[in-house]
Amino acid sequence: MRSFPESMNEYKRQLKKGYIQEAYQGLMAYFRDLKSHFKNQYPEYYVSGGIYYGYMDMTYFSLFPESLKRRKLKIALVFIHDVFRFEVWLSGSNRDVQAE
């Protein structure tokens, strides 16, 4: 495992190349568009107001179809950065519901 200063130097080198910024900005724009798509195409679902951008580990937003909202559940559309894939999670709306 690298030391923190070594990791920061590598991070700086990678940022200077510019690819990381372009890819991240493109991915976040896609995510915003995906959220807008669900909001516009499925007005009966409540779509969360914000996107959780994470720490380059995961990015997600939530949908609340009425049938799940009554049960205090939600659907999260999640992008997992390290494995580079989208996932759909069923989640409780708070920690108590998640524990249940």
At 37-68, the pLDDT tens digits run: 999 999 999 998 899 999 999 999 999 999 99
List the end-to-end C-alpha distance of the chain, in Å, as a whole number: 38
Element (H, E) at 29: helix 19-41
CA atoms of 80 and 82, how far apart (whole Å): 6
Domain that holds residue 41: 4-99
The DSSP 8-state label assigned to residue 2 in this structure reads -
Domain count, the chain: 1
pLDDT score, position 21: 94
The structure tokens listed for 45 are 């679902």
pLDDT score, position 93: 86
- pTM attached to this predicted model: 0.85
Residue with tokens 């709306």: 93
